[in-house]
Structure 1
């Protein structure tokens, strides 16, 4: 009979290879700033249905047990995986992160929303 550790190792082999990771494994991964401070975690990834490109990480910042947490969208291109931290480092200043839009209905209904998010972070939109 396998132990829970062996089960986790088997799942790791299925969910992650070299440079690829399954979306469900990204969920819950910590996000750090350049200084190494833990900012929150990835709640979800948003994938363009037509191109398959990852557009945004929806990141939960702050709160306690999910209460009072803010969900903000970060362009996927501003995140870099740090093996030592076991999480993503966001390449943005604290001021930019504070200005990042809350992810919600506006993201789904405003066609210019994506342009504003990418412009804030100074990166080209994922669709270009």
Structure 2
């Protein structure tokens, strides 16, 4: 029998101390180590086989999604910072500026090698 989520003062019904619902991750701010807001989580990319989050797609710029650019960042490069209430990215600003990006309406994920190129850029092995 499945037990309902237990709540404490710091955790809402759709999260636990270590788990969070994907819809709560989407829209969460992403900061650099200096505390500057870089963008926000557009969505998460989950590996269908392992069930693990592989990438976070971060949106940069634009207004109401118009003119936005997206950057896939390996999940391993983010850490939740409860003080800021968002994710902190472990990538130097100059490295992030040169990272693979795509515009709204583009679908790079249809290319099975796109994720590999993101991992290669960030120096990770899948």
**Shorter-chain TM-score above 0.5:** yes
Q: How many residues align?
A: 114
1:9-62 CA-to-partner distances (Å, cap 9, x unmatched) read xxx622111011110100100000111100010010010111101011011011
Indicate the residue corresponding to 2:19 in structure 1: 20
Farther off after superposition, 113-122 or 28-37? 113-122
Contact 1:77 1:123 in 2 (8 A): no
Indicate the residue corresponding to 1:86 in structure 2: 85
Q: Specify every segment of 5 or more residues in structure 2 that has no aligned partner in the other structure, as ranges.
A: 1-10
Structure with greater proportional helix content:
1
Shift of 1:120: 1.4
1: distance between equivalents of 2:68 and 2:46?
A: 23
Shift of 1:98: 1.5
Q: Specify every segment of 5 or more residues in structure 1 that has no aligned partner in the other structure, as ranges.
A: 1-11
Residue pairs, 1:59-98, within 5 angstroms: 59-98=58-97
Structure 2 counterpart SS, 1:77 = helix
TM-score normalised by the chain length of structure 2: 0.82
CA RMSD of aligned residues (A): 1.7
Contact 1:96 1:120 in 2 (8 A): no
Shift of 1:63: 1.8
